[in-house]
C-alpha cells in the first residue's frame, strides 16, 4: 500500500530534483501513421546535401551549402511531427529546423511557427527554440515570440519526436517533445495568431550572426559536415484543399480541445525547470507589440 501511495505522490507532485517530466498521459503522435519522406515532402534546396535511406532523411551543411525540404501540400490546421537526431560536438552557428510557414506564398508578410535547434559549443547543451511570427517581414520589423528550452535528454544520442499542433478551432498552438507539451501559444486575437494555410518545412543552415549566444560563436567549418537526421514523419489534419467540414485534430482526448490536467502538469514542469528564455519575461521587449503576454 505504501509503495502505491508513493508512486501516486510522485505522479501528482514531481519534485524539483526530478530529471524527467511527469507523464502527459496522452500521446497525440500515436494517432498518426508515419509516412515516407517522398510521400509527403520534396527537396526545396541543396539537393546534393540530402539523402534518403529506408524512410530516414539525412541533410547536412558544409562550406558550399545546407539543405531544406518542404511538404507537397499546404495545411490550414493539423499535427506535424518528425523524429530528429542532431550532431554532437561543436555545432555553433548551425540551425536545424522543423517548422510551418507560408513565406513563399506571402513574401515579406508571412506567418511562421518554428522548432529550431540552436547549435552549441563543446560541453554545452543544445537549446531548443520555439517561435511564432504573425504576418511578419524580413526587413527588421519582424516580431518574434521566442521561448527557448534545454531538454531533459541529449538530442544527439538518439531520435526524439518533435511536433507542432496547430488548431485555430482550439484557438491554440502546442509545441510537443516526445508528446510532452512544452509550450502552448493561445489565440488572443486574429492579429496575434496564424490563420492562413502553411506548408511544413525542415532545413539545416548557417545562422552564425545570431544562433549561438547571440552570435558570439560562429560556425567553424573545420568540423564540417554538420549533419541532421529526420525520420518518422507525421502530418495529419486539414489541408488547404480539404472541405470546410474537415475537423481539426485535437491536442488531447477531448473533442472540445484543450489540454488535460495531466498534460498541463507536464508542461508546467518543463516551463519551471527547463525554460532559458521567454520573450514575455524580457524587460527589453516592447510588450505593446505582444499583447498575448
Cα separation, 96 vs 226, in Å, equals 9
Closest C-alpha to 80, from 197, 170, 162: 162
Q: Which of 201, 7, 231 is nearest to 111 (CA)?
A: 201
**Containing H/E element for 76?**
strand 75-86
172-to-102, 117, 164, 222 alpha-carbon distances in Å: 18, 22, 11, 42
Q: How far is CA 147 from CA 35, 170, 239, in A?
A: 29, 21, 27
State the catalytic residue, choosing from 116, 146, 170, 213: 116
C-alpha cell at 257: 480541445
In the residue annotation, 146 being an active-site residue is answered as: no
Do the Cβ atoms of 119 and 211 come closer than 8 Å? Answer: yes
Degrees to nearest 5, angle at CA 42 with 37 and 46: 110
CA within 13 Å, CB half, 265 = 15
Q: How many other C-beta atoms are found inside a 10 Å radius of the C-beta of residue 239? A: 17
Which of 104, 112, 213, 292 is catalytic? The answer is 112
116 is catalytic: yes
Q: Which residues are catalytic?
A: 112, 116
Amino acid at each position: 500500500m505504501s509503495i502505491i501511495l508513493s508512486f501516486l505522490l510522485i505522479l501528482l507532485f514531481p519534485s524539483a530534483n526530478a530529471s524527467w517530466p511527469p507523464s502527459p498521459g496522452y500521446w497525440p503522435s500515436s494517432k498518426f501513421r508515419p509516412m515516407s519522406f517522398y510521400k509527403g515532402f520534396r527537396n526545396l534546396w541543396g539537393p546534393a546535401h540530402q539523402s534518403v535511406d529506408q524512410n530516414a532523411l539525412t541533410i547536412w551543411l558544409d562550406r558550399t551549402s545546407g539543405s531544406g525540404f518542404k511538404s507537397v501540400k499546404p495545411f490550414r490546421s493539423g499535427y506535424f511531427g518528425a523524429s530528429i537526431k542532431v550532431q554532437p560536438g561543436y555545432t555553433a552557428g548551425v540551425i536545424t529546423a522543423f517548422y510551418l510557414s507560408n513565406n513563399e506564398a506571402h513574401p515579406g508578410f508571412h506567418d511562421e511557427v518554428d522548432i529550431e535547434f540552436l547549435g552549441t559549443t563543446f560541453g554545452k547543451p543544445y537549446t531548443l527554440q520555439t517561435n511564432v511570427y504573425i504576418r511578419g517581414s524580413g526587413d527588421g520589423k519582424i516580431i518574434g515570440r521566442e521561448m527557448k528550452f534545454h531538454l531533459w535528454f541529449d538530442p544527439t544520442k538518439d531520435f526524439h519526436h518533435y511536433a507542432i499542433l496547430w488548431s485555430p478551432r482550439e484557438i491554440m498552438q502546442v509545441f510537443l517533445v516526445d508528446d510532452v507539451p512544452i509550450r502552448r501559444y493561445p489565440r488572443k486575437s486574429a492579429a496575434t495568431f496564424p490563420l492562413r494555410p502553411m506548408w511544413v518545412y525542415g532545413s539545416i543552415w548557417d545562422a552564425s550572426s545570431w544562433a549561438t549566444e547571440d552570435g558570439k560563436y560562429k560556425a567553424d567549418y573545420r568540423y564540417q559536415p554538420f549533419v541532421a537526421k529526420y525520420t518518422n514523419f507525421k502530418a495529419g489534419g486539414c489541408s488547404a484543399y480539404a472541405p470546410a467540414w474537415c475537423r481539426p485534430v485535437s491536442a488531447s482526448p477531448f473533442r472540445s480541445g484543450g489540454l488535460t490536467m495531466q498534460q498541463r502538469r507536464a508542461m508546467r514542469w518543463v516551463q519551471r525547470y527547463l525554460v532559458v528564455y521567454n520573450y514575455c519575461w524580457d524587460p527589453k521587449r516592447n510588450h505593446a507589440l505582444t499583447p498575448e503576454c
